[in-house]
Amino acid sequence: MNHLQLHIPTMKCGGCAASIAKMVKARDPLAQIDADPATKRVIITSRVDGAELMAELAAAGFHASVESD
């Protein structure tokens, strides 16, 4: 499993968080996603490679940077 902690500045509301979760779940239905629009932080645990997820998020307008724990 891959564990990503991301900062996504364009995630501004619960709708954005839901869109991000939907995108990740489309690739990995078993993924765990914790998205907090207030802090613009998303934590993803998934079988899909983190770089692939970040590329898909960026293509949808959610440019992410990796945060350290």
SS3 of residue 39 by DSSP: coil
Domain extent listing, the chain: 2-66
CATH of domain 2-66: 3.30.70.100
pLDDT(66) > 70: yes
Q: Model's pTM, two decimal places?
A: 0.91
CB 34 within 8 A of CB 56: no
User: Using CA atoms, how far apart are residues 56 and 69, in angstroms rounded to an integer?
Assistant: 23
N residues, the chain: 69
pLDDT of residue 68: 79
Taking only the tens place, the pLDDT of each residue in 6-64 is 999 999 999 999 999 999 999 999 999 999 999 999 999 999 999 999 999 999 999 99
User: Using CA atoms, how far apart are residues 37 and 39, in angstroms rounded to an integer?
Assistant: 6
SS3 of residue 38 by DSSP: coil
